[in-house]
């Protein structure tokens, strides 16, 4: 087995352009400049129309957590939207 590593010249994974083509590695695969691409791709409907995805190899449980807002009693609260 022989392979050659090819990097995306624009440094993108693959963004759809208004004309329907893709940038990045998805675009290289769509144009058949490479046989396959490897990366942390998100599977989207648009991408799935131009390339075939393998089965999921890894699922990241990344999340963003923020504190829950709390109620505050403020008699002057009704004028706060008008302050700088």
pLDDT in tens, 7-66: 998 999 999 999 999 999 999 999 999 999 988 888 899 999 999 998 877 777 777 877
pLDDT score for 72: 76
Whether 13 and 25 have beta carbons less than 8 Å apart is answered as: yes
pLDDT score for 13: 92
User: Among residues 10, 5, 38, which one has the least CA distance to residue 24?
Assistant: 10
Containing 25, the helix (H) or strand (E) segment is helix 24-30
CA distance 36 to 13: 13
The pTM of the full predicted model, rounded to 2 decimals, is: 0.65
């Amino acid at each position: 087995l022989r392979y050659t590593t090819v990097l995306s010249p624009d440094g993108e994974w693959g963004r759809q352009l208004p004309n329907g083509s893709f940038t990045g590695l998805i675009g290289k695969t769509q144009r058949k400049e490479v046989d396959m691409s490897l990366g942390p791709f998100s599977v989207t409907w648009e991408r799935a129309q131009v390339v075939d995805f393998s089965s999921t190899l890894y699922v990241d449980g990344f999340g963003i957590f923020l504190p829950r807002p709390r109620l505050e009693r403020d008699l002057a609260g009704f004028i706060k939207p008008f302050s700088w």
